[in-house]
Amino acid sequence: MEQGDEGRERLRRLRDEIKGRIDYRTFYLRYCRSANEQSSNARFQALCPIPSHNHSGRGNPSLSVDVQRGLFHCFSRDEGGDVFRFYELMHDVSFGRAINELACELGIRNTSKQLPLRFRAAPDAEAILQSETYEPLDAEQMQAICRVFLEVCDDEDQSEGINYLQRRGIDRKTIKRAGIAYFPRRAYRRVMRRMAQNFALDELQRSGLFNSREHLTFYRHRLLFPFRVENRVIYMQARTTAAGIEPRWHNLRGNVPALYNMDALVGLKSNSIVYLVEGFTDTLTLSAHGFPAVGLVGAGGLREEWLPQLARFQICLALDPDEAGRRAAQRYVEMFARRRAVAACIELPSDVNDFFRHRASAALEFALLTEMAIEKKV
């Protein structure tokens, strides 16, 4: 244990060092997927993610973040503070632990003690450092790393991953078709070793698969969803299957390069209906029921340059029935309209996965809702 004064002094020093290096905007955005960034540069609003506030997730954004000063305030619970307070609330940890963990993420050396594995495995926080840059891998190297990583993971016991997806109504055939892979926590070191045998450390680090501490960063996130384009895996995102872990997603470096599940559209006839939904689970839920679907990462993620690939289909949006989803749907209808394309919108009482899990006749109802939405547009 540390002596009182000395310990406090060390925390003060670390706190100041963190404040000097952290990028507030990126830090808060990690936790606020629904952020409305357009509002202004100095501030943004988002749905408040603080677990103890128990927000429904459906109302108006109640969290306001001042990205210049690094302060947050939740209007609905009248609680606010700085990044350390926010970290305490998000992870339910003490002030001291918040400081130590943030320092560790930012690569600030703070103790001589060996850190627990979950810290050594934590992704580098270059992204939340102000000045750090790295040279991205070229597409071919990235694809090779993705391919081998999936193969290595696939050699491990898949059952926890498969169970997790099956509990959400996604069947084995769909899981296999989507190329999803998993590895259990106990296989972590073996998976890490095999990747280190196959690639140079520098490549692994530049891809984001390994961190600067030479550890595999996919430690809490071990259910892997590959993005395949023309039969090649070009990117990966991974989900945690445990409850209460934030952030729930971890991915390789770089921006999401495509819609999820694009390869499913390859053999599809022109003019077929294609659903545009939020996230992997909704995409795979529709796939499992025979509805061709592609997925966005987050409601706001559609990029203009992806629209031409969808031009030969009838697009039907089925985003989440929340504020972010509705706003995004409206924006996308306009984006399609500018290209003289018509996008229909289905609004379900819940997200797609919930809808299919809780209604026996969901597929039939969904087909009818589609028909109605398309008729309304024509």
Site residues, Zn ion (CB under 5 A)? 48, 50, 53, 74, 77
Nearer to Zn ion, 20 or 59 (CB): 59
Nearer to Zn ion, 70 or 161 (CB): 70
Query: Smallest gap, in angstroms, from Cβ of residue 55 to Zn ion?
Result: 6
Nearer to Zn ion, 54 or 133 (CB): 54
**Residue 240 to residue 222: CA distance in whole angstroms:** 6
For tokens 């943030």, name the residue: 102
Nearer to Zn ion, 7 or 59 (CB): 59
Query: Smallest gap, in angstroms, from Cβ of residue 76 to Zn ion?
Result: 5
Rounded to the nearest 5°, which phi and psi values hold at 12? -60, -45
Query: Smallest gap, in angstroms, from Cβ of residue 62 to Zn ion?
Result: 5
350's tokens: 């819940």
Q: Give the pairing of strands 314-318 and 249-251.
A: unpaired
Query: Smallest gap, in angstroms, from Cβ of residue 52 to Zn ion?
Result: 9
Sign of the C-alpha dihedral computed for residues 281, 282, 287 and 288 taken in this order: positive
Cβ within 8 Å of residue 313, ≥6 positions away = 265, 268, 270, 271, 272, 273, 274
For tokens 């009182």, name the residue: 4
Query: Smallest gap, in angstroms, from Cβ of residue 48 to Zn ion?
Result: 3
Query: Smallest gap, in angstroms, from Cβ of residue 79 to Zn ion?
Result: 7
Query: Smallest gap, in angstroms, from Cβ of residue 64 to Zn ion?
Result: 10
For residue 321, the tally of other CB atoms under 10 A from its CB is: 16
Nearer to Zn ion, 323 or 365 (CB): 323
